[in-house]
Structure 1
Amino acid sequence: MVETVAEAEPAAPASPPAVTATPASVAQPAAAEKAVKPKAEAKLYGARTLAQWIKRVLLIAVGAVAAAAILVLAARGVTTLPGVPEFLERYPGEYHLPETAEPGFPWWAQWSHFLNIFLIVLIIRSGYQVRTQQKPPAFWTPKRGGKKISINLWLHQSLDAIWLVNGLVFVVLLVASGHWMRIVPTSWEVFPNALSALLQYMTLDWPVENGWVNYNSLQQLMYFLVVFIAAPLAAITGVRMSEFWPKNAKSLNRIYPVEVARAIHFPTMLFFVLFILIHVFLVFATGALRNLNHMFGGTDMVNWVGFWLFAAAIAITAAGWYAARPILLAPIAKLFGQVSSR
């Protein structure tokens, strides 16, 4: 037994190799931990990641193209039905305006159009910020006292006020000059002609454009809807939701609840967004240079003047979009009240 123990003792020095192997064995779990360390979460833009937004946009685009193709095929099928060709011949898409209606676009209509572009883009942006903001970047309080509101809401309401003034001036000049006949229907024929124009758009065999003299009936109805219905709706519902509305007028508040205003205001904004997208698309798809000259150059000629004026308007609007930030808004807001961070 002693000899056995003595023979076993020399085996003790064999332990150093195990000691030297220890650092490698410790390093392996560390490396494994590093390898399985979870990746950083993708940055969210709203409720989705960038990849999710791209996938969603692509799916919507594919769906929109498929839906458009189905509508075109269906519309072309309708034009082959009995009586439809005769209907399109009788109602080509427009009717004759009164003889007193003057062609063209006066200078004040061009300026109003530019201001509408600038203001409505910033109004939609600030309105969306107000609707989705979690924590406002800054607050504004009126000089004469009143409720503290977010600086985004202050911008939205300020732009609304300027937009309303611009709209009132436009309507007054529209009536005074007689140009109201361009966008206000003067004959019941507007309805069958609008249907005819819609069918022609859907078949991609679009009605002849001559906006310098006369809009087609579908355009006329849409412009009438924008100027005399959608814009007043946006104004009336916006005022009801603003701080200018008397909070203690119980009878008035019962007749016109704020919930009704909210239910109308946001869909009206979506209508404006949809109208702008379709309007811009048709401007470029039906003779861009001539149409841009109508709206910005005040001429029926086909040249690049209107295009460059339009490009300048877009550049100014983009600059306004960039400038509509708290750090640049605060000095302006301070002229009319107090700006604070909380």
Structure 2
Amino acid sequence: MESASIAPVVEPSPAAPTAVEHVRPRGPRPPLPFPQTVWPGSAARSRPETLAEPEATGIRSLVKPPPWPLAVSGIFAALALLILAASAVLFVRWFLSLDFMRDFMITYPGESKLPEGAPVGIPGWLAWQHFFNTFFLVLIIRTGLQVRRDKRPGAFWTPRWSKNGRGKISLSLWFHQSLDVLWLLNGLIFIVLLFATGQWMRVVPTSWDVIPNAISAALQYVSLDWPTENGWVNYNSLQVLAYFVTIFIAAPLAVITGVRMSGLWPKNAERLNKAYPIEWARAIHFPVMLYFVIFIIVHVTLVFATGALRNLNHMYGGQDAINWVGFWIFAGSMVLIVAAWIAARPLVLAPIARLSGKVSGR
């Protein structure tokens, strides 16, 4: 503890025998011969404190630098990316002009032939499934990020069947896991209908030529000479692989890792926990979420860049036409998603959560 000093006491003057004045010496105070261990009282609290110089305390180092260096760095980074993208386009265009690549593009135009009996068109149930999948997935990503950054939750949920408060989780985590269950249920219905109606043939590779055709489609995208889009009849091979990975690889990984991290997993199953450590689930779950974010961004970009009205009619209007029907249905679905995003607050979630448990502040 730092040493302190005591100001000398001046004897009261005859004019004011009852007054006691504490006079501070102008020079430096002599140190105490012992460390001060008693709280100096209210006088110390009222004593003004002087701040040390910024150089001595490092206050100047806390001052934020002007924003212009960051802006200049951002401009240079954007220019570098633009130059890199332009270089990639020019290189791929030159590469495709070579004779052997021309033959390759003729042999593999970018899409594989569908099996005999493959359905044509997108049925209405697939449009509804697409909306619900988007609705749940967007909210799952939102709540997942909220759970990761929510260090001190403001509200908690405890299951109604819990004893001694076991199973208590944050309200954000409860909402995240509830959305997971709804998304999983919607996915199971989707898989059943996918195979029952034959639509699986449009999103599952049925020939090995899907790989060279996917490479061909990717090169066409990079060269800005994009492959012909006819999603109503057949997706190009790059789309087929993307949909296959999303439906049959990324989605199951999200479910398996999510269940391992949830309260549904048996905590006392030592052998099971040892065979499937929770660290593995955590290491996979977040990258899978990033995959879905990237997939959504690329998917939406291509939908609008390759004929927005026709593509939106395929997904929402149930018709192969160029009109505004699908667009307005899509716009209405976006309004619902934004409204749900805004409404996902404890004030709205708490009454719903109380239907299956107890909601408390701490």
1:80 aligns with 2:100: no
Structure 2: distance between partners of 1:149 and 1:131: 13
Structure 1: distance between partners of 2:255 and 2:127: 22
Task: Spell out the pairing of 1:63-212 with structure 2 (5 A cutoff).
Answer: 63-145=80-162, 146-212=166-232
Structure 1: distance between partners of 2:167 and 2:113: 53
Task: Spell out the pairing of 1:219-230 with structure 2 (5 A cutoff).
Answer: 219-230=239-250
Structure 1: distance between partners of 2:276 and 2:294: 27
1:308 aligns with 2:328: yes
Structure 2 residue identity aligned to 1:305: V
Name the structure 2 match of 1:31. Answer: none
Structure 1: distance between partners of 2:254 and 2:76: 31
Structure 2 residue identity aligned to 1:83: F
**Larger relative CO (CA 8 A, sep 6+): 1 or 2?**
1
Name the structure 2 match of 1:335. Answer: 355
Structure 1 residue identity aligned to 2:109: P
So what's the TM-score if we normalise by structure 1? Answer: 0.83
Structure 2: distance between partners of 1:171 and 1:204: 34
Name the structure 1 match of 2:262. Answer: 242
Structure 2 residue identity aligned to 1:289: L
Task: Give the secondary structure class of the aligned counterpart of 2:157.
Answer: strand
Displacement, 1:140?
A: 0.7
Distance 1:118 1:61, change over 3 A: farther
Displacement, 1:68?
A: 2.3
Displacement, 1:135?
A: 1.1
Residue 325 (structure 1) aligned to one of 345, 355, 359: 345
So what's the TM-score if we normalise by structure 2? Answer: 0.78
Structure 1: distance between partners of 2:143 and 2:73: 24
Displacement, 1:59?
A: 6.4
Q: Which runs of 5+ in 2 are unaligned?
A: 1-58
Structure 1: distance between partners of 2:93 and 2:195: 40
Deviations 1:64-122 (A, max 9, x none): 43332232122223213341111001100012111200111111100010011111110
Name the structure 1 match of 2:35. Answer: none
Structure 1: distance between partners of 2:297 and 2:79: 18
Number of residue pairs the alignment of both structures matches: 302
Q: Which runs of 5+ in 1 are unaligned?
A: 1-37, 44-48
Structure 1 residue identity aligned to 2:260: R
RMSD: 2.5
Deviations 1:259-284 (A, max 9, x none): 00011000000000000000000000
Distance 1:55 1:174, change over 3 A: farther
Q: Which range moves more in the overlay, 64-73 or 254-263? A: 64-73
Displacement, 1:57?
A: 6.8
